[in-house]
Chains A and B, each alone.
Chain A
Amino acid sequence: MRLYFKYMSILFKSQLQYRTSFWLLCAGQFFVPFTVFAGIYFLFERFGKLPGWTFHEAALCFGVIHMAFSVSECFVRGFDAFSNLIVRGDFDRLLVRPRGTVIQVLGSNFEFTRFGRMLQSAVVLGIAVSGLSVQWTPAKIITLILMIFGGVAVFSGIYILAATFCFWTVQALEVANIFTDGGREMAQYPLDIYAKWVTRFFTFIIPFGAVSYLPLLYILDRTDGPDLLYMAMPLASLLFLLPCLAVWRIGVRRYRSTGS
Chain B
Amino acid sequence: MNAPLSLLKMRFLTGLQYRAAAAAGILTQLFFGLIFIMVYVAFYTHNGAAQPMSLKEVVAYVWLQQMFFALIVLWQFDVELFELITGGNIAYELCRPWRLYPIWYAKLLAARLSSASLRCLPVALVVFILPEPYRMPLPTSPAAFLLFTLALLSGLLLVAAISMLVYISVFWTMSPVGSVLMIAVAGEFFAGMIVPVPLMPGWMQTIAGLLPFRWTVDFPFRVYTGHIGVREALAGIGIQMIWLAALAAAGEWLMGRALRRVVVQGG
- Cβ of B177 within 8 Å of any chain A Cβ, yes or no, is yes
- Prevailing SS type, chain B contact patch: helix
In the complex, residue of chain B having the shortest beta-carbon distance to the beta carbon of A192: B42
Task: Check A46–B35 contact: CB distance below 8 A.
Answer: no
Task: Check B35–A50 contact: CB distance below 8 A.
Answer: no
- Cβ of A131 within 8 Å of any chain B Cβ, yes or no, is no
Among the stretches B66-74, B93-101, B180-188, B242-250, the one at the interface with A is: B180-188
- Cβ of B2 within 8 Å of any chain A Cβ, yes or no, is no
- Cβ of B264 within 8 Å of any chain A Cβ, yes or no, is no
Residues of A with C-beta under 8 A to B25: 174
Residue among B20, B35, B181 making CB contact with A25, cutoff 8 Å = B181
When each residue 172-210 of chain A gets 1 if its CB lies under 8 Å from chain B and 0 otherwise, what string results?
011101100110011001000111001000000000000
Task: Check A25–B177 contact: CB distance below 8 A.
Answer: yes
Residue among B24, B39, B44, B195 making CB contact with A173, cutoff 8 Å = B24
When each residue 31-49 of chain A gets 1 if its CB lies under 8 Å from chain B and 0 otherwise, what string results?
1101110110011011111
Task: Check A42–B35 contact: CB distance below 8 A.
Answer: no
Residues of A with C-beta under 8 A to B200: 42
Task: Check A175–B27 contact: CB distance below 8 A.
Answer: yes
In the complex, residue of chain A having the shortest beta-carbon distance to the beta carbon of B22: A174
- Cβ of A16 within 8 Å of any chain B Cβ, yes or no, is no
> Which residues of chain A in 3-27 are interfacial with respect to chain B, using CB atoms and an 8 Å cutoff?
20-21, 24-25, 27
Task: Check A35–B42 contact: CB distance below 8 A.
Answer: no
Task: Check B177–A28 contact: CB distance below 8 A.
Answer: yes
Known A21-B175, A174-B24, A177-B24; contact A42-B204, beta-carbon cutoff 8 A: yes
Give CA–CA (A195, B188) in the complex, Å: 28
> Which residues of chain B in 180-214 are interfacial with respect to chain A, using CB atoms and an 8 Å cutoff?
181-182, 185-186, 188-189, 194-195, 199-201, 204
Task: Check B35–A194 contact: CB distance below 8 A.
Answer: yes
Give CA–CA (A175, B204) in the complex, Å: 35
The total of chain A residues at the interface (CB under 8 A) is: 37
When each residue 16-52 of chain B gets 1 if its CB lies under 8 Å from chain A and 0 otherwise, what string results?
0000110011011001101110110011111110010
Residue among B31, B47, B178, B194 making CB contact with A36, cutoff 8 Å = B194
Interface size class of B (residues with CB under 8 A): 35 or more
Task: Check A175–B38 contact: CB distance below 8 A.
Answer: no
Residues of A with C-beta under 8 A to B35: 182, 185-186, 194, 198
Give CA–CA (A79, B193) in the complex, Å: 30
Task: Check A189–B195 contact: CB distance below 8 A.
Answer: no
Residue among B24, B39, B181, B189 making CB contact with A189, cutoff 8 Å = B39
Task: Check B46–A182 contact: CB distance below 8 A.
Answer: no
Give CA–CA (A185, B62) in the complex, Å: 14
Max chain B C-beta neighbours (<10 A), residue from A20, A35, A173, A181:
A35
Residues of A with C-beta under 8 A to B20: 171
- Cβ of A138 within 8 Å of any chain B Cβ, yes or no, is no
Give CA–CA (A11, B38) in the complex, Å: 41
Known A20-B175, A24-B181, A189-B39; contact A43-B199, beta-carbon cutoff 8 A: yes
- Cβ of A259 within 8 Å of any chain B Cβ, yes or no, is no
B residues neighboring A (CB under 8 Å): 20-21, 24-25, 27-28, 31-32, 34-36, 38-39, 42-48, 51, 175, 177-178, 181-182, 185-186, 188-189, 194-195, 199-201, 204
**Interchain Cβ contacts under 8 Å between A and B, 19 examples:** A20-B175, A21-B175, A21-B177, A28-B181, A31-B182, A32-B181, A32-B185, A35-B188, A39-B189, A42-B195, A42-B200, A47-B51, A49-B46, A51-B46, A175-B27, A177-B28, A185-B32, A193-B38, A198-B34
